[in-house]
Chains A and B, each alone.
Chain A
Amino acid sequence: MIKSLKARKSELADVGYEIQILSAKTPTGFESNAFATKLRESHLYPLKPVKIDTLQINVGKMCNQTCKHCHVDAGPDRKEIMTRETMQHCLDVIKGHSFTTIDLTGGAPEMNPDFRWFVEEIRKIDKKINIIVRCNLTIIVANPSYYDLPDFFKQHNIEVTSSLPHFTVMRTDSQRGEGVFEKSIKALRMLNAVGYGKDDSGLILNLVYNPSGAFLPGSQKSLQQEFKKKLKDPYHIVFNQLFCITNLPISRFLDYLLVSGNFDDYMEKLISSYNPIAAEGVMCRNTISVGWSGYLYDCDFNQMLEMKVETSDQHISKWNTETLTQREIQTNQHCFGCTSGAGSSCGGATS
């Protein structure tokens, strides 16, 4: 298993250095403010929220995997996780604001010892609110204390969104680690067994595809068809939707791009496939992201770059809907990952 950038003491574990790389002029001549320029051309600058209806909470960087492309730099060695006190602040905000979706992510969110308590408390506040758990699948089979996760998810009517970068062993394992494909298939079978992904069960199981390398995702519709076919036969696995997510050039994916010599070409691809319609639909316009320590960000990517929301109240304990709705969203070159081709968000393509 590879180590986190932090454990490797990589230069890229320093966000200042990452931002420096992202802000530099590209060899093909794109200036550091290229994203702002594109937004201006699309009449979207400064980028402003539309309506905040989704709260994405990152409950910690701890994970049982260390995927090569991870934008969180998560791993077993990461100890930064959300405390119950911060979760309580989140619950207070959920009570006072009409979110449609609470999106729980990590690391492996299930590894936070207060994860189940937190889910139960959110469900107590609102029977209908859509709670998404971004489950990496292998956690379900990691040790016996997690085997009942599918039942727990079902009991609380959780929408499960899981990464499976490909329907072949080689492409999945090359990104997520040896043996991950096999374990993921096992976990998917356990989810299917309690009803997830099956027609009419009402239990939603969505899969996330991100390219395992320096290329962009193709059409979500065709990839979904292909995934459905290839997972049904020979694995007998069913799921609802496939979300295609573009890898953003930050953290471990940035490290991969630099080490493999793909950085310049990848940036060029992202920039040249800028799509103004996708820019209009970027997820930061309806989402606030909460970090493990309670600080607020425009999205999970800005969170990893430590770019906090540009308001006076930057902590969940000081939530202020008004200032958050009026704020300017902070952008940099990594944002081209959300606006290339059909667009990309935590819910897949945006246009």
Chain B
Amino acid sequence: MKNYYNPEDLKKFGNIGEFQKNLADKFFDYYGETFKEGALTAREKSLIALAVAHTIQCPYCIDAYTADTMEKGCDEQQMMEAVHVAAAIRSGATLVHSVQMMNKYKELSM
């Protein structure tokens, strides 16, 4: 069966350097550095990544950061709350545009 997404491909992420090594190396260095313990803990960063993964709806990232947040000791409630934050921002962003709709409505109305 042909699929656009294959879980096995996640493990091959590191191979993107095959086609362009220099940029891949730079990316993975940057990626690794970003997720290190810093002003934010590695755990907090992992929860942000989980939320963003849902926003961009990347199945690879959702798998990877579900496992990662679990490894970092997050519980199911914390994980779901992170996704709700993403969802709230998404729906908020949709709804705040309704002000534009309202403005336009008023402009076009008698």
Q: Is the CB of A170 within 8 A of B72?
A: no
Contact of A222 (CB < 8 Å), options: B43, B76, B77: B43
Q: How many residues of A contact B (CB 8 A)?
A: 18
Known A219-B42, A222-B43, A226-B43: A171·B75 in contact at CB below 8 Å: yes
B76: chain A residues within 8 A (beta carbon)? 168, 170-171
Interface-forming stretch among A93-101, A118-126, A142-150, A209-217? A209-217
Q: B41, B72, B73 — which one has the most chain A CB atoms within 10 A of its CB?
A: B73
Give B56-74 interface residues, CB cut-off 8 Å to A. 67, 70-73
Per-position contact with A for B61-99: 1 when CB-CB < 8 Å, else 0?
000000100111101110000000000000000000000
Binding site for A on B (CB under 8 A): 11, 37, 41-43, 67, 70-73, 75-77
Residues of A at the B interface (CB closer than 8 Å) are: 166-168, 170-171, 209, 211, 213, 215-219, 222-223, 226-227, 268
Known: A166-B75, A168-B75. A215 touches B43 (CB 8 A): no
Contact A222–B75 (Cβ < 8 Å)? no
CB distance B75 to A218 under 8 Å?
no
Alpha-carbon separation in the docked complex, A102 to B37 (Å): 37
A227 CA / B71 CA spacing, docked (Å): 13
In contact, A215 and B73 (Cβ under 8 angstroms): no
Contact, CB under 8 Å: B70 / A222: no
Given A219-B42, A222-B43, does the pair A213, B73 have CB atoms closer than 8 Å? no
CB <8 Å contact, B72 and A222:
yes
C-alpha spacing A223/B70, complex, angstroms: 11
Question: In the complex the two chains form, is A211's CB within 8 Å of B71's CB?
Answer: yes
Closest B residue to A227 by beta carbon equals: B73
Q: List 28 A-B contacts (CB under 8 A).
A: A166-B73, A166-B75, A167-B75, A168-B75, A168-B76, A168-B77, A170-B75, A170-B76, A171-B75, A171-B76, A209-B73, A211-B71, A215-B70, A215-B71, A216-B71, A218-B42, A218-B71, A218-B72, A218-B73, A219-B42, A222-B37, A222-B42, A222-B43, A222-B72, A222-B73, A223-B72, A223-B73, A268-B11
